[in-house]
Amino acid sequence: MKPFATVLEVGSSLSNRTGSWRTERPVYVHRLPPCNNACPAGENIQEWLSLVEQEKYEDAWREIVKNNPFPAIMGRVCYHPCENACNRVVLESPVGINSVEQFLGDKAIKEGWAFDKPAKASGKKVLVIGSGPAGLSAAYQLARAGHKVTIKEMLDKTGGMLRFGIPQYRLPRDVLDAEIKRILDLGVELQLNTKESDLAATMEKGGFDAVFLSAGAHIAKLASFPTSDNARVLDAVSVLRDMEGKTKPSLGKRVVVYGGGNTALDVARTAKRLGAETVTIVYRRNREKMPAHAFEVDEALQENIVIKYLSTIKDYQKTTLTLETMALDEKGWPQPTGKTETMEADCVVLALGQDSDLSFLDKVSGLKIANGVLEVDAQMMSGHPGLFAGGDMVPSSRTATVGIGHGKKAARHIDLWLFKQEAPAEVKNEIAGSDRLNTWYYAEAQRTERKMTDGAKRAGTFDEVQSGLSQDEALSEARRCLSCGNCFECDNCYGVCPDNAIKKLGAGKGFEINLDYCKGCALCATECPCGSIDMVPEEN
């Protein structure tokens, strides 16, 4: 029969290569999520949130501990700069990264997850001075790389300021112990009650191929004001350290804390828990200028701690304290006004910051010490070859997270240095800014906060003040992550291409542009929720 109509072959349009119309081509890219960029420990936050999203909790924990062996600790005490950087603010509020981290850390302890076995023994030995977060982080990374690590710690317990600074109502000691034990279980040798007092001599003796210093900053800065012999002046570092001893410090009923940093707040809240009736923080500037974080100030106020701003201590005789009112000048510095007042105090606790005790380095050659801290280069190495340092004793913003990051970085460079290798050039992707998000595709989802015990109630005990998220809460919090700058396989590009020019490669494999037919309309790039497609001009 003669065909009654023209009949065309299926697939005949494929000979028309419409890709030749293109002036720009879509390219899948990876951008650096702002949270990852802000994390001082260098966690790949987006990656582990995505694993939580898929309910792969153990995988998520293993991703965190590549960079930070302390998710349960840092999930409690980190000041979470990641959340301040989180792009989700353009929708409602940042992802609760810190609380999900705590959830994973706690789950790992409960489930007894252990670290992967260290790599094959390298035969190299590294000495670490100090068992604070910086030293433990370095020891952990070095041990995982197969090196033999010995930690010298002058105190009778590990942890540095995590234990002898941060109070247990913020960081329960069983959590601290569990995460430190896991590191020691890798075969790290620990020498407690062993103060390093002459490093030059120790190095002379040999037995180590490299050294990492992380002695922290423990010497309280003092203030000078006249006192009588029977006036009690203590310092915050000693008070907090004594909290870990057998006999707790006795501070009296009326306690005054002098200073405006996080340590001042921690010691004030500790005094309250030790039974003080009134706790007053005296600070010479105003709330805005206070170095303590706003949330810590709020928590202290909820516990009925009084803060006297714009005041300095002039004089302290027996139990009578004289304060002078200050006024801020144009530059924001406090200037005396001559106006004074008095109040009664059973003791004054100084919380004016800490200096490092670097006397054990006196005889080591090549070091540069400025402003009381040891200078290191970008590889965390001091002026003495093979001697690396990090944490509070080097120039830094002095947080535990920064210390953990230093420890990790130093370990990487010690490893390279030991084998005389060059550090590979660092490739840092461009930051995934919120301007590249197509927020239409994300549903509104409010943030779940961890619950806090009521102020008056929690101030009466050393119990932890905040409780962690449930698994369901952690899951929904992780699902709030936008996956900034990295494809999460939402299929938008694949679905919106009018030319069917995108190939879906299957779960975990992403997509591929079929350049034979892509006309370069940029619908895929425009409709990508997380900004992981660039449009790149075609050459000529």
Partner 1 sequence: MNNALRNPKGIYTIGNRLVDQKERTIQSSTDRCNALNCGHRACQGCGEALGARCVVDAAMRATNGQLIVVNATGCLEVFSTPYPETAWQTAWVHSLFGNAPAVATGVAAAMKIKGRGEVRTLAQGGDGSTTDIGFGCLSGMFERNDDVLYVCYDNQAYMNTGVQRSSATPPAARTATTPTMGHEPGNVFGTGKNLPLLAMAHQIPYVATATVSDIQDLEAKVTKAMSMRGARYLHVLVPCPLGWGSLPRHTITLARLAVQCGLYPLFEAENGEVTGSTKIRQHVPVENYLQLQKRFAHLFKNGKAVDERLARMQAMADANIRRFNLLGVEEN
Ligand X SMILES: Cc1cc2nc3c(=O)[nH]c(=O)nc-3n(C[C@H](O)[C@H](O)[C@H](O)COP(=O)(O)OP(=O)(O)OC[C@H]3O[C@@H](n4cnc5c(N)ncnc54)[C@H](O)[C@@H]3O)c2cc1C
> Which residues sit at the interface with ligand SF4, rule CB under 6 A?
33-35, 45-46, 49, 86-88, 95, 97, 481-484
- Minimum distance from residue 352 beta carbon to partner 1 (Å): 47
Query: Which CB, 86 or 349, lies closer to ligand SF4?
Result: 86
Residues 242-281 that bind ligand X (CB under 6 A): 262-263, 266
Q: Rounded distance, CA 201 to CA 184, Å?
A: 26
- Helix, coil or strand: residue 120: coil
Instruction: Say which entry of ligand SF4, ligand X, partner 1, none residue 392 contacts (CB below 5 to 8 A, set by partner kind).
Output: ligand X
Neighbours of 299 (CB within 10 A): 20
Q: Rounded to 10 degrees, what is the CA torsion of 279, 281, 287, 293?
A: -80
By C-alpha distance, which of 257, 280, 226, 227 is closest to 351?
257
Which of ligand X, ligand SF4, partner 1, none sits in contact with 469, Cβ below 5 to 8 A by type?
none
Cβ closest to ligand SF4, residue 97 vs residue 127: 97
Shortest Cβ distance from residue 37 to ligand SF4 (Å)? Answer: 9
Q: Is 129 in the site for ligand X (CB under 6 A)?
A: yes
Are 46 and 481 contacting, i.e. CB atoms less than 8 angstroms apart? yes
Taking the complex as a whole, the smallest distance from the CB of residue 40 to ligand SF4 amounts, in Å, to: 15
* Binding partner of residue 332 among ligand SF4, ligand X, partner 1, none, CB cut-off 5 to 8 Å per kind: none
Q: Where are the alpha helices (DSSP H) in 234-320?
A: 236-242, 262-273, 294-302
Binding residues for ligand X restricted to 367-426, rule: CB under 6 A? 391-392, 398-401, 403
User: 398 contacts which partner out of ligand X, ligand SF4, partner 1, none, CB within 5 to 8 A by kind?
Assistant: ligand X
CB of 206 to ligand X, least distance (A): 19
Query: What angle is formed at CA 411 by the lines to CA 408 and CA 413, rounded to 5 degrees?
Result: 115
Nearer to partner 1, 19 or 216 (CB): 19
Judged by beta carbon distances under 5 to 8 A according to partner kind, the member of ligand SF4, partner 1, ligand X, none in contact with residue 498 is partner 1
Residues 241 and 129: their CA atoms lie apart, in Å, by: 19
- Specify the pairing of strand 278-282 against strand 533-537: unpaired
Angle at 106 between CA 102 and CA 112, to 5 degrees: 145
Q: 3-state DSSP call for residue 535?
A: strand
Cβ proximity to ligand X: between 179 and 392 the closer is 392
Tokens in use for 181? 């034990």
Residues 207 to 226 in contact with ligand X, rule: CB under 6 A:
214-216
- Let me know: does 285 contact 328? Beta carbons within 8 Å: yes
Helix (H, G, I), strand (E, B) or coil at 271: helix
Q: Does 101 bind ligand X (CB under 6 A)?
A: no
The binder of 519, among partner 1, ligand X, ligand SF4, none, by C-beta within 5 to 8 A per type, is partner 1
Shortest CB 50 distance to ligand SF4, Å: 9
Q: Which residues contact 108 (CB under 8 A, 6 or more apart)?
A: 58, 61, 71, 72
Whichever of 19 and 160 has its CB closer to ligand X, that residue is: 160
* Cβ–Cβ under 8 Å, residues 352 and 237: no
Farthest CA pair distance, the chain: 121
Q: d(Cα 219, Cα 261) in Å, to the nearest integer?
A: 16
What, of ligand X, partner 1, ligand SF4, none, does residue 134 touch, CB below 5 to 8 Å by kind? Answer: ligand X
Which entry of ligand X, partner 1, ligand SF4, none binds 484, CB below 5 to 8 A by partner kind? Answer: ligand SF4
* Partner whose binding site includes residue 408, from ligand X, ligand SF4, partner 1, none (CB under 5 to 8 Å by kind): none
CA distances from 214 to 136, 231, 359 (A): 9, 35, 14
Picked from ligand SF4, ligand X, partner 1, none, the partner binding residue 214 (CB below 5 to 8 A depending on kind) is ligand X
Q: Does 154 bind ligand X (CB under 6 A)?
A: yes
Q: CA–CA separation, 392 vs 402, rounded Å? A: 9
- Report the candidate in 110, 114, 150 with the shortest Cα–Cα distance to residue 129: 150
Closer of 412 and 519 to ligand X (Cβ): 412
- Chain residues that interact with partner 1, rule: CB under 8 A: 5-6, 8-18, 21, 53-54, 440-443, 445, 476, 479-480, 488-492, 494-501, 504, 506-507, 514, 516-517, 519-523, 525-527, 529
| One residue of 160, 259, 405, 531 binding ligand X per CB under 6 A | 160
Handedness of CA 32, 34, 36, 39 (dihedral sign): positive
162 binds, among partner 1, ligand X, ligand SF4, none (CB under 5 to 8 A by kind): ligand X
By beta-carbon proximity to ligand X, the closer residue of 217 and 521 is 217
Pick from 33, 71, 132, 485 the residue near ligand X by CB under 6 A.
Answer: 132
Distances (CA, A) of 495 to 29, 178, 370, 443, 514: 19, 48, 59, 19, 14
- Tell the smallest beta-carbon distance from residue 524 to partner 1 (Å): 9
- CB of 135: closest distance to ligand X in angstroms? 5
Which amino acid appears at position 210 of this protein? A
* Residue 112 Cα distances to 61, 115, 120, 475, angstroms: 12, 10, 24, 20
Q: Burial level of 3, CB count in 10 A (0-12/13-18/19+)?
A: exposed
State the binding partner of 130 from ligand X, ligand SF4, partner 1, none, CB within 5 to 8 A by kind: ligand X
d(CA 533, CA 522) in angstroms, rounded, equals: 9
Nearer to partner 1, 18 or 453 (CB): 18
Nearer to ligand SF4, 86 or 381 (CB): 86
In whole angstroms, what is the distance from residue 112 CA to residue 191 CA? 25
- Residues lying near ligand X in the complex (CB under 6 A): 77-79, 129-135, 152-155, 160-162, 165-166, 195-196, 214-216, 240, 262-263, 266, 360, 391-392, 398-401, 403
